[in-house]
């Protein structure tokens, strides 16, 4: 008998093991080296186009600023905001 993750079904988030597998693949897969950000198909690993609001550039910038993304990126020397 197969165990069912009822929380995953209730939250409609899919299979956590499959979700973890794609995260691992994106982190260490050579085909993703140098890729920063994006949305990927859990099964194939191919890039996908997100639906609204994930594809809204204004919302992305607001989230980036609200969560301290710019400050963190600067601390990690990923971006430079000073001239």
49 and 72 in contact (C-beta within 8 Å)? no
- Are 1 and 35 found together in one domain? yes
- Are 57 and 78 found together in one domain? yes
Token reading at 38: 């994006």
Report yes or no on 4 lying in a domain: yes
pTM: 0.53
Report yes or no on 74 lying in a domain: yes
Report yes or no on 44 lying in a domain: no
Calpha distance 21→27 (Å, rounded): 10
Segment 35-55 mean pLDDT: 87
Domain count, the chain: 2
35 and 47 in contact (C-beta within 8 Å)? no
Asked if pLDDT for residue 19 goes beyond 60, the answer is yes
Q: pLDDT per residue over 46-59, tens digit each? A: 999 988 888 898 98
37 and 18 in contact (C-beta within 8 Å)? no
> Looking up tokens 């693949």, which residue turns up?
25
- Are 54 and 78 found together in one domain? yes
- Are 57 and 34 found together in one domain? no
**What domain range includes position 60?**
49-83
């Amino acid at each position: 008998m197969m165990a069912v993750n009822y929380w995953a079904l209730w939250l409609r988030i899919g299979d956590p093991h499959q979700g973890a597998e794609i995260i691992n693949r994106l982190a260490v897969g050579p085909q993703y080296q140098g890729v920063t950000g994006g949305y990927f198909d859990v099964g194939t690993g191919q890039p996908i186009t997100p639906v609204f609001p994930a594809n809204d550039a204004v919302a992305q910038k607001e989230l980036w600023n609200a969560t301290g993304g710019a400050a963190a990126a600067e601390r990690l020397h990923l971006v430079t905001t000073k001239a």
